[in-house]
Amino acid sequence: MVTQSDTETVQVEIFPFRILTPETAQRLLSEIYRNGGIIRIMIQGPNMPRFVTYGPAKGMPIDANNQGLMELGDQAFELKVKVGRVRLELESEKYLDGVRAACERALPFTFQIKKGKFFHDRMTVTDYAKYGKDVEDRRILGLIDPKAKKDKLAILSEKEVTTDNEER
Amino acid sequence: MAYTAQFYPGSTSVGINRRKQMSGNLEKLRDIPEADIVAILGHRTPGADYSSTHPPLKEMGEPDCPIRQIVAPTPGAAAGDRVRYNQFADSMYFAPSTPYWRSYWAAINCRGCDPGTLSGRQIIEARERDLDALTKVQMDSEVTDMALCSMRGCTVHGHSLRLEENGMMFDMLSRTEMGKDGNIYYVKDQVGIPLDKKINVGKPMSEAEAKKRTTIFRFDGVAIGGKVGARKYDEAVEALHHMWTLRTQWGYRPE
C-alpha cells in the first residue's frame, strides 16, 4: 500500500526556451531529484526515433538519437524524446523554491515555471481500458499518454506500484 | 507604361527583405559546390547523367505552335529531364525565408518550376537540371540560414518547435549537425540517407543577423504594423486593408 501524504501536493511545469540535449536533461533531472519531494515526473518533447520510420531511408538507424541513457536515483532508463518540458508533482509547496534553484543551476538559458494542474487524477475511459477498475497506485493516472507502451514509464520509487507488474 | 515592380509594400526591415526575396535580388553569402548540392538533394550520384522522361525536344519534332515559338524551353525541359524536387523547412524563430516567400521567389524568378507551399515547409518541383541550379541559388543566398533552415524531403517536423541548445532547428532524422569548428555539416541527404562524406555548408547566422534578414513579422521582432505605438501603421497594413476591402466588397475586381 502506498503511503498517502497529508499535505496538499503541488503541480508545476518547467518550460525551457530551448529543447534540451540529453546531457542538460540529465543535469536538470538530477538536480530536481536531489531537491526531493517528488511524487511524479513527466518529461515531454518531440520524439527521437531510433530508426527512420518512413520514406526512402526507412529502417536506417539514426545514431544521433541513440545517446539518451538517463540515470536518476538508482534507476536507468532510455530517453526517447528530446526534453521540451518537465511536469512535476511535489509533495508540498516548500519544495518549489528548490525546483526553481535546480533549474537555475542546470539550465543555461531562459525558462518558465508554471504552477497549475497538469496531471488528471480521475480515471479516463482509456485508463479504464488499460488498467481496469482497481488501480492501487493512482500516481500512474495522467502520467503517460494513453497510446504509450508500458516501457515509457520508469518507476523510480521503492514504493510498490502494482499496475506495472500486471500483464495486460 | 514602364514601371518598376514594387513586389511588397512597407518600410520595415521585413518589408524590405520580402521585396528583396521576391525580386530575386539576393545577396550571395556562401558558395557550396554543385556536387555537394546534388548529393544533398539525393536524386542522383554527383557526376551521373540526368535521367530523362522524353528525348530532347529538338529530336522530338514539336508541333507547329505559336506559344512554343514564343517561349524558349528551360534547359531541363529542352533535354527531357525527369521532374525532381527539393523541400525546405524554415524555423519560425526568425528564419530568413518562410514557405510563402520561397514560393514567391520561385514563382517569380524561376521558369518552369512548380512551387508548393505548406505551413512549415516548402517544396519546388522542376526539371532536374533546372532544380539543381535553383537549389544552388537558394543554398548560397540569404534566403537560407544553415541553422534555421534545412533541406528535408521527408520528416520535416521542426518549423514551429523551439530551437535546440546550439541554436539549430530540431530535426528528428539528424540530417545536419554542428561541428566543433562552428560550421554546419550535412551528414545525410534530404530524405535521411547517410552521405559518403560530411558536407560543410558554412557557419550559421548570428541571432542578430537572422533577425536583420528575416521575412517573418513577429511581435517580439518587427511587427507587421511597423513601430509599436506609432501614430500611423506601416504601408504594409494599409495595403493589406485596401486589398481586403476590394476582395470582400467587390470580389477583387479593382476597377
Question: Which one of B151, B159, B173 would you mutate to disrupt binding with A, by most A Cβ within 10 Å of its Cβ?
Answer: B173
A3 has pLDDT over 60: no
Report the distance separating Cα B4 and Cα A37, nearest Å.
68
What is the percentage of chain B residues whose pLDDT exceeds 70? 98
Average pLDDT, chain A: 83
pLDDT (tens digit per residue) in B158-188: 999 999 999 999 999 999 999 999 999 999 9
A57 touches chain B (CB under 8 A): yes
Question: Which one of A21, A48, A51, A52 would you mutate to disrupt binding with B, by most B Cβ within 10 Å of its Cβ?
Answer: A52
ipTM score of complex: 0.83
Domains of chain B: 13-218 (3.90.320.20), 223-255 (no CATH)
Average pLDDT over residues A74-90: 90
B17 has pLDDT over 60: yes
Give the gap in angstroms from C-alpha A25 to the nearest C-alpha of chain B. Answer: 11
A33 has pLDDT over 50: yes
Which pLDDT score, from 0 to 100, does residue A168 have? 33
Q: pLDDT category, B254, cuts 50, 70, 90?
A: low
Of A134, A156, A24, A147, the closest CA to residue A88 belongs to: A156
At residue B128, the 3 state secondary structure works out as helix
A1 has pLDDT over 50: no
B161 touches chain A (CB under 8 A): yes
Which pLDDT score, from 0 to 100, does residue B87 have? 96
Q: Residue A106 is inside which H or E element, if any?
A: helix A96-106
Q: A101: domain range?
A: 10-158
A44 touches chain B (CB under 8 A): no
Which pLDDT score, from 0 to 100, does residue A159 have? 53
- Which of B162, B164, B173 lies nearest to residue A62, judging by beta carbons? B173
pLDDT (tens digit per residue) in B50-71: 999 999 999 998 899 999 999 9
Q: Is residue A74 part of a domain?
A: yes
CB pair distance less than 8 Å for A17 and B170 = no
Average pLDDT, chain B: 93
Interior CA angle at A95 toward A93 and A98, to 5°? 135
Supply B179's cell numbers: 561541428
- The number of domains in chain A is 1
Lowest mean pLDDT among A13-17, A19-23, A40-44, B33-37: A40-44
pLDDT (tens digit per residue) in B108-154: 999 999 999 998 899 999 999 999 999 999 999 999 999 999 999 99
More confident site: A113 or B247? A113
pLDDT (tens digit per residue) in B212-222: 999 999 988 99
Instruction: Report the phi/psi class of residue B115: left, alpha or beta, with left for phi > 0 and alpha for psi in -120 to 50.
Output: beta
Which pLDDT score, from 0 to 100, does residue A6 have? 62
Q: Is residue A5 part of a domain?
A: no
